[in-house]
Amino acid sequence: MPARSAAGTVVAVPPSLLAALGLSFRGILRSPWLVASGMGVALLAKALSWPAWAVAAALVIRGAASAAHVRPYDPMAAMKGAEVVLGSPAFAWIVGGLFLCGLAARGLLRVAWLAGALPQLATEMAGEHAHRFATGATWGLPPVLGAAALGFVADLGGTGFGVALGLAALRVTAVASGGHGSVLLAAATAAALVLAVAVPVSLSALGDAAVARAALRGEGPAPAFAGAARRFLARPGTFVLGAMAFAAAGAMGPASVNGLAGIATGFAPNASPLVQAGPSLMLAAAATLVAAAIDLGWMGTVAALACARVGGVTSPGSA
């Protein structure tokens, strides 16, 4: 039922989880190429870490070769040279910097894809036909990038909070196991463990909802988070349950496909690596495709929860 404000204005509430899932599934069926593009983005994101690995391998090989050249009669010279390279601060700075650059590029690539995919998906969810991917990925990128950066900070904070609270609860449990516990302490510890899981999941869902609002409404980071928080507080259980369900699906789906790779190659254990590489690569691509579909399904669901109007008209100020 739509809620009413003091002035009698009908304020829309987020749809149910099943309704949001239905809208997301409808949008994906109407634009399946978004899943393929998400798969391409995921594969390219993985490739962005290759330069760091290549530079690391080149530096280690060069160090080992130089040491072997200087001490040709020392059988351990190559290994010692590689250890010197691995333990040098310059190696850590160079390779670590490349990894960080790769992670930043991966994040920027995903945000740019979301800036185009979410408006296109929302258009298909509404039953309309329009090409909004290119416009969203270009002109709609700045607000989405700001909301994603703020969401990343909130996600880090929630993860740190959850880890700290979980460790504190385990520490209290270890002390209480010596006979110093009580029912009140057990209840407080259980509540702390629930918060250690619920707070990071809630902040992660809130960040995704803010990104969806920034992509679909063009809101800045602060208004997007404020609007997402209002929608979240209207139905917190729906957001948390959806986030946990998609997180479980995102972990189990690709893992199940990867498990099939081991089964497929197990039927021919004596086959050459080149023969086994074919099925392994195809199943790895299938696992990436499944992960992209689940990711797009979640973003479509959270976009419906954060922006869809159900049971009334939502004004921009009360969305």
pLDDT tens, position by position, 8-35: 444 467 888 999 999 999 999 999 999 9
pLDDT in tens, 104-117: 999 999 999 999 99
pLDDT confidence tier of residue 181, bands split at 50, 70 and 90: low
For the purposes of burial, counting CB atoms within 10 Å of the CB of 66, is it exposed (0-12), middle (13-18) or buried (19 or more)? middle
Gap between the Cα atoms of 9 and 318, Å rounded: 10
pLDDT in tens, 221-236: 999 999 999 999 999 9
Gap between the Cα atoms of 48 and 30, Å rounded: 30
Gap between the Cα atoms of 101 and 191, Å rounded: 39
Pick the more confident residue, 294 or 256.
294
What are the extents of the domains in the chain? Answer: 3-307
Please, where are the H alpha helices in 126-235?
A: 133-138, 141-176, 183-217, 221-234
* Rounded mean pLDDT, 289-300: 92
* Residue 10 confidence (pLDDT): 45
